[in-house]
Structure formats: structure tokens, C-alpha cells
Structure 1
Amino acid sequence: MKSKTEINQIAVFERVIAVLQAIQTTPVASTSALREQVLPDLSLRSAQRYLKGLEHAGYVSRVLDAGWCRSDARYFLTEKSKQLFGVKG
């Protein structure tokens, strides 16, 4: 039987994978698009913090376009993440 801690760790892992897959398959992977698709239980601010954590860990890169709202940055997979999925280029 799995402990509550093990279940929580698996849920965290699955969320990370879901976010990375959404970034890979979403044409414009903005904060709001990712929140809508895979982080609906988080507030906008919490989704921003979550994505910033993935950025600091080296899994995603964030681009702020002058024409975009600062809270709606675009996210891209880094080489570190691409290696997880076997993505070329």
C-alpha cells in the first residue's frame, strides 16, 4: 500500500509531465493557456509561480514579448526537457 507521501510525489511528477507535454503540443503555450489546459486548480499567480519553478529547474524557458501581457508569458521546452521526450531540434 502506498503512503500519502508517495501518492503526493506521484501526483507532483504527473503534473510536471502534463505541463511539459502541454508546452510541447500547444502552439502558443502561454501562462493562461497552460493554466486552462493542465493547471485549472491553480490561481493565475500560483500558475505563474509553478511555471517559474520549472524555469528555475531548467525544464522550460520563458519569453516575454513586448506585445504580451507580462502575466501571460510564452513557455518553451529546454534541451533538458526535450531529452526527456526524445524531441529533436
Structure 2
Amino acid sequence: PRRAKHHGIDAMSTEDLKKLNKNKKLIKKLARKYDAFLASDGLIKQIPRLLGPGLSKAGKFPTPISHAEDMANKVTDVKKWEKG
């Protein structure tokens, strides 16, 4: 989350995701609030267990980002892809 906030990007920690507790309403609200999601390679494997199928059902499963990738470039790439 620190790296994301440095770039002015909203971020959630693993603990924040756990607090959603697979609550379908909260996950739907989260999915509606944002056009796309990024998740670290390590976290992306945990998303289904932490959130259930909510983001996938909304068509917004996170795009993986490694610690080596430049976050600003990745965000630009995802924005281009979203506009399609």
C-alpha cells in the first residue's frame, strides 16, 4: 500500500481485505467504486480466498503487478486496456 499511495493510488492491505470478510455488499460496492484493480503477485493468489467470487463476477479481477514493475507505467497500461 505504501508504494501505491506514493503514486496517489488508493490501496488496501491484506488486513483491509480480510475485514471485508467476503461481505458481498461491500465487495460489490468496492467493485463499483473503481474501474480496475492491481494486486501484487503474492496477494493475487489470495484474492479468491479473501473476497470470494465478487470481483470476478463484476469482471474486475485484479491485474498482477510485481515489485519490479513501475507502478505508474502499469496504471497507465491498465487505463489504456480499460478504455479498449
Using the size of structure 1 for normalisation, the TM-score is 0.32
TM (norm. structure 2) is 0.33
User: Higher relative CO (CA 8 A, sep ≥ 6), structure 1 or 2?
Assistant: 2
Q: Which of 1 and 2 has greater Rg? A: 1
